Amino acid sequence: MYLLMNKFLFFLIIIFCLNSAVVANPNIQARTGILVDYHSDEILYELDPDSQIYPASMTKIMTAIIAFDLIKNNKLSLDDKFSISENAWRLSQAGYSSMFIMINDQVSVENLLKGIIIASGNDACVALAEGIAGSESNFADMMNEKAGEIGMTSTNFTNSSGINDPDNVSTVRDIAIMSKYLIKNYPIYYELFAEKTFTWDRTGGDPIKQGNRNPLLYKNVGVDGVKTGYLAVEKYSLASSMKKKDRRLIAVASGFNTKNLRSSESLKLLNWGFRNTNTFEISKKDQTFFDLDTWLGKKNKIKVTTKEDYHVTINKKDITNLTISLNYNGPISAPVSKGEKIANIDVKMKDKILKTLPLYAAEDLKKVNFFKSLLTSLNYLIWGDV
């Protein structure tokens, strides 16, 4: 067993964690909620996270994902324009949140996305759905297919906007999964969720400037998304994400009784997570390397790496109990082929193994020739491992 304490981890232990006080759970005033670390997927807080909710306008996250996916795969362009149907226009006249598009307007995908993400326009959702799939029903099928693909096991979408439909349902756990998928897979387009205003130069009237409905964007605390929601039957909801340096948390909660509680309680939850936990990068695929001793190889060391990224999130009070060790039967005998599994990383909390990560050779290791091998072996027999 070869023990290797990560120097960066040790530095963080000293600077941040030795005297940290951890408080009890934040007792969020909502019906259901969840707080997840973006990198480790560790659930830091949960309040009935699998209770069914009506996601309301948080549905629009998936509407945007479908468009982003098509753009990423060169099947749609931000410059493409869709003709606005009467069906879409009627939503702008029905008292719902709207972009205020007009019948037969030719509106770009980029403007429709801004109308959806920033202004929360239900009319823009229908226009985009019809433009992409021919009908909102067909588009909902695309949404559900994507939801299943990314692991949203308790969600059913029936429309693109989330407005009144008893069959349009989800959970805060699924909304968190969807939010992470959005942030991870479309980082450039995700920046739209942080924009505070959108001005639509509408047909037949003065331009309309609307602000983003996410209240946490205006507090300058590191929140850069994602989406609010409201239905009379569900009350207020919010999926939010906060980034501080290289760390990101995602909070989703629903059933807030007021707008103010939606804002204050979501912020309390995010701040609680940052204040009381830390996340550490243990390994990054093809970027984090460990050196292992070798035997009868043309090099004395061989580099190994993992085939996955791995982060661990723990309470600050527990940091001194965290250990990271390299576990292998060494030294490693040559020859070794690149990609061959030859060791493990064990991540432990006290005596409990949190994760075992296999390590693979990042390079070939050739064996020395016969005479060098013989000399090395004789030297070991005479002098030992010196």
Chain segment 210-225, per-residue pLDDT in tens: 999 999 999 999 999 9
Please list, in sequence order, all residues whose beta carbon lies within 8 angstroms of the beta carbon of residue 203, skipping any fewer than 6 positions away: 101, 102, 105
Number of separate domains in the chain: 2
Residues annotated as part of the active site:
57, 60, 120
Give the closest residue to 123 by CA, choosing from 152, 151, 102, 154.
102
Domain residue limits at 202: 30-256
Query: Do 364 and 227 lie in a common domain?
Result: no
Residue 327: band (very low, low, confident or very high) from pLDDT cuts 50, 70, 90:
confident
Selected residue with higher pLDDT from 317 and 251: 251
Please check whether residue 23 lies inside any domain of the structure. no
Query: Do 57 and 202 lie in a common domain?
Result: yes
At 179 the pLDDT is 98
Return d(Cα 112, Cα 293) in angstroms, integer. Answer: 58
Query: Do 60 and 173 lie in a common domain?
Result: yes
At 189 the pLDDT is 98
Query: Do 232 and 315 lie in a common domain?
Result: no
Return d(Cα 229, Cα 69) in angstroms, integer. Answer: 23
Query: Do 67 and 192 lie in a common domain?
Result: yes
343 and 307 Cβ atoms separated by less than 8 Å = no
Selected residue with higher pLDDT from 186 and 11: 186
At 17 the pLDDT is 41
pLDDT, one tens digit per residue, over 73-82 is 999 999 999 9
pLDDT beyond 50 at 320: yes
Task: Give the total residue count for the chain.
Answer: 386
Residue 377: band (very low, low, confident or very high) from pLDDT cuts 50, 70, 90:
low
Lowest mean pLDDT of 52-56, 86-90, 328-332, 379-383, name the range.
Answer: 379-383
Lowest mean pLDDT of 149-158, 161-170, 345-354, name the range.
Answer: 345-354
Please list, in sequence order, all residues whose beta carbon lies within 8 angstroms of the beta carbon of residue 296, skipping any fewer than 6 positions away: 333, 334, 367, 368, 373, 376, 377
